[in-house]
């Protein structure tokens, strides 16, 4: 099984939002528009997503089925240069030392069913990497809660997903460091994207009209 090495160095000192990894895998152009040019527009999907998060956006905790539920927990990793907030972290503490967390798993809330792309899994894995650094743990899995069905999907943090998460972070930093926005590419992810009216991916495939087309008269 491959060994996953975490990047290090001064280039990682500036923290990037955890959500940016999701945007990068979904669409590099969207990630640049949101995080480099600070462009964002709501649509029905983003509004419904915000509504799905309302139950966990207020910081607090409770106990349920042997787990301590930590809502809206701030996350960070100085090693990776990431920061953000977990929708929910389910944690257990050492009985003899209630100040120490011995087990934790992040839970990400999503408005709809499981999606075809891996961007949600990468965002969840990045949250786990932050928790591992914060609490000195090894986290094997997390959960995605689908508000539409009230079902939870378990996501295992194996070496492949960890490697994809770190590779996505590298690609994201490279993307945000470039001087201009990546070119538009029309793809399935464009359906439902709130920035479609700004990005205009259809323009990338539009044929240019030629004013003069020479003919062969021979």
Check if CATH label 3.90.320.10 holds for domain 10-181. Answer: yes
Q: What confidence category does residue 77 fall into, taking pLDDT thresholds of 50, 70 and 90?
A: very high
Mean pLDDT along residues 74-83: 96
Paired strand residues for 76: 83
Q: What confidence category does residue 1 fall into, taking pLDDT thresholds of 50, 70 and 90?
A: very low
SS (H, E, C) 48-73: HHHHHHHHHCCCEEEEECCEEEEEEE
Give the pLDDT score at 129: 98
Q: What distance separates the 2 farthest-apart alpha carbons in the chain?
A: 94
What is this structure's pTM?
0.79
Give the pLDDT score at 45: 52
Mean pLDDT along residues 183-212: 76
Share of the chain above pLDDT 70, in %: 77
Average pLDDT, the chain: 82
Residue 62 has pLDDT above 50, yes or no: yes
CA atoms of 34 and 58, how far apart (whole Å): 24
**Domain range annotation of the chain:** 10-181
Helix count (H) and strand count (E) of the chain?
6, 7
Structure tokens at 9: 């160095």
Taking the alpha carbons of 113, 73, 165, 168 in that order, is the dihedral positive or negative? positive
Structure tokens at 208: 């240019």
How much of the chain is helix, strand and coil, in % rounded to 5? Answer: 35, 25, 40
Residue 44 has pLDDT above 60, yes or no: no
CA atoms of 141 and 144, how far apart (whole Å): 10
Of residues 19 and 202, the one with the higher pLDDT is 19
- Quick one: how far is CA 77 from the chain centroid? 15
**Could you read off the pLDDT of 137-163 as tens digits, one per residue?**
999 999 999 877 888 999 999 999 999
Residue 49 has pLDDT above 70, yes or no: no
Residue 31 has pLDDT above 60, yes or no: yes
Give the pLDDT score at 97: 77
């Amino acid at each position: 099984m491959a060994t996953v090495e975490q990047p290090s160095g001064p280039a990682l000192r500036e923290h990037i939002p955890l959500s940016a990894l999701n945007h990068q895998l979904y669409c590099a152009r969207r990630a640049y528009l949101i995080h480099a040019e600070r462009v964002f527009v709501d649509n029905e999907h983003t509004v419904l997503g915000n509504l799905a998060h309302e139950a966990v956006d207020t910081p607090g905790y409770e106990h349920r089925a042997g787990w301590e539920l930590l809502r809206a927990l701030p996350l960070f990793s100085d090693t990776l240069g990431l920061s953000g907030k977990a929708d929910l972290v389910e944690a257990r503490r050492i009985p003899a030392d209630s100040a120490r967390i011995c087990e934790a798993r992040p839970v990400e809330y999503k408005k709809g069913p499981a999606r075809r792309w891996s961007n949600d899994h990468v965002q969840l894995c990045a949250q786990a990497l932050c928790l591992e650094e914060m609490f000195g743990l090894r986290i094997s899995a997390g959960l995605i809660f689908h508000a539409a069905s009230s079902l939870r999907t378990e996501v295992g943090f194996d070496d492949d997903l960890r490697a994809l998460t770190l590779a996505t972070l590298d690609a994201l930093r490279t993307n945000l460091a470039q001087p201009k926005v990546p070119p538009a590419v029309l793809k399935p992810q464009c359906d439902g994207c709130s920035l479609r009216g700004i990005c205009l991916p259809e323009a990338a495939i539009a044929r240019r009209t030629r004013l003069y087309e020479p003919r062969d008269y021979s």
